């Protein structure tokens, strides 16, 4: 619920649980969570001709699903890494949108604590490590 | 040649084996090789991919490794031929750390698929440290609108998010 509130606070017109149907069929669904079961759920949520993009580097196994979820020219694809052109485009675009980030500082020496807090979802946004020399 | 006084060692949080805590260590500051810059790390964000590295979910990591691939820092030294940047420049270092430059993917603007690609904080020591060396070709100026800490998530969450959104098409 905290993540859904966070999404709404950033301007999302709808936020819901991953097993909840969106209020209307989606043009596209972008998956960042490393959970393979979200792939058939996302295919179910997109309209005919829609696209599901898996943005993560690792995902648990995708469960079997009926062909009808992919049929009607839905597209399922992944993203691997980035190109330098992506970086140049995005870093020029980000301040114009503007893309805002929410961060939580940790001293570099507390990297294990930062990883654990991130894993447990104890905050919204990103943990950022700051070396002692730069603090 | 360094214009500022450089310490001899730095703080680093290093992974020695999957599923073990990072170890706080003092290690030597790396020397930038040809084409590389040495960056004094100002801030480095924690990414979900770091959890996959720590959990041993990605194949063939370099071990021990200093994780971290959302790095914002200042160029502290420049290796031979890395004159794209000057000492003191603020740069970002992302996940993609090196590609071969000659394969069909590299020659067609799809270096993200280079079979020899190496990645920051996974196969190249990353930003959970006081300093990091990086291939200058894969470092980027950071927009002045962002301070060091707030810019860090742009370098993976932002960048991969952008590529993911772009590949979804116009809808």
Give the whole-angstrom CA distance, residue A125 versus residue A102.
5
* Any A CB within 8 A of B153 CB: yes
| ipTM, 2 dp | 0.95
Q: Would you call B63 an interface residue with chain A, using a CB distance cutoff of 8 Å?
A: no
Tell me the C-alpha distance between B20 and B93, whole Å: 25
Residues of chain B with Cβ-Cβ distance to A56 below 8 Å are: 48
Residue A55: CB atoms within 10 A of its CB come to: 20
Name the closest residue on chain A to residue B111, using Cα atoms.
Answer: A83
Q: Does the CB of A3 have a partner CB in chain B at under 8 Å?
A: no
Could you give the CA distance from residue B140 to residue B31 in angstroms, rounded to a whole number?
20
How far apart CA A69 and CA A73 sit, in angstroms, is 10
Chain B: give the shortest CA distance to residue A61, in Å.
Answer: 13
- Cα separation, A55 vs B156, in Å, equals 11
Among all residues of chain B, which has the CA nearest to that of A51?
A: B168
Can you give the pLDDT of all 135 residues of chain A as single tens digits? 788 998 999 899 999 998 899 999 999 999 999 999 999 999 999 999 999 999 999 999 999 999 999 999 999 999 999 999 999 999 999 999 999 999 999 999 999 999 999 999 998 899 999 999 776
**Nearest Cα to Cα of residue B18 among A58, A21, A47, A96:** A58
Q: What is the mean pLDDT of residues B27-56?
A: 97
Q: What is the DSSP letter of A124?
A: S
What global pTM score does this model have?
0.93
pLDDT given for residue A124 in this prediction: 87
Neighboring chain B residues of A112 at a CB cutoff of 8 Å = 13, 21-22
> Among B5-9, B103-107, B155-159, whose mean pLDDT is lowest?
B5-9
A124 or B76, which is more confident: B76
Q: The tokens of B164 are what?
A: 């993911």
Token reading at B85:
């940047």
pLDDT value, residue B171:
58
CA–CA separation, B4 vs B75, rounded Å? 11
Q: A67: left (phi > 0), else alpha (psi -120 to 50), else beta?
A: alpha
Q: Is B9 helix (H, G, I), strand (E, B) or coil?
A: strand
What CA–CA distances, in Å, run from B29 to A43, A96, B51, B137, B164?
48, 36, 25, 21, 35
């Amino acid at each position: 619920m905290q993540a859904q509130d966070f999404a709404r606070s950033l301007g999302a017109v709808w936020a819901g649980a991953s097993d909840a149907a969106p209020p209307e069929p989606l043009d596209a669904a972008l998956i960042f969570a490393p959970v393979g079961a979200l792939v058939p759920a996302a295919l179910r949520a997109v309209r005919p001709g829609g696209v599901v993009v898996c943005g993560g580097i690792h995902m648990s196994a995708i469960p079997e699903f009926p062909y009808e979820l992919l049929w009607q020219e839905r597209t399922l694809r992944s993203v691997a890494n980035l190109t330098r052109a992506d970086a140049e485009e995005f870093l020029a675009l980000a301040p114009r949108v503007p893309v805002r980030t929410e961060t939580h500082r940790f001293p570099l020496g507390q990297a294990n604590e930062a990883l654990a807090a991130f894993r447990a979802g104890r905050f919204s946004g990103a943990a950022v490590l700051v070396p002692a020399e730069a603090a | 040649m360094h214009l500022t006084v450089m310490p001899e060692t730095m703080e680093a949080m290093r992974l020695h084996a999957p599923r073990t805590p990072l170890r706080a260590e003092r290690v030597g500051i790396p020397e930038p090789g040809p084409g590389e810059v040495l960056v004094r790390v100002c801030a480095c964000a924690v990414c979900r991919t770091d959890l996959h590295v720590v959990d041993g979910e990605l194949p063939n990591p370099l071990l021990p490794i200093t994780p971290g691939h959302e790095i914002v820092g200042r160029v502290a030294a420049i290796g031979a031929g890395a004159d794209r940047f000057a000492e003191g420049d603020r740069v970002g270092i992302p996940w993609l750390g090196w590609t071969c430059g000659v394969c069909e993917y590299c020659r067609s603007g799809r270096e993200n698929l280079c079979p020899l690609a190496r990645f920051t904080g996974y196969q190249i020591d990353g930003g959970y440290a006081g300093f990091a060396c990086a291939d200058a070709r894969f470092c980027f100026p950071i927009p002045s609108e962002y301070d060091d800490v707030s810019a860090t998530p742009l370098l993976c969450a932002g960048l991969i998010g952008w590529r993911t959104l772009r590949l979804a098409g116009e809808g």
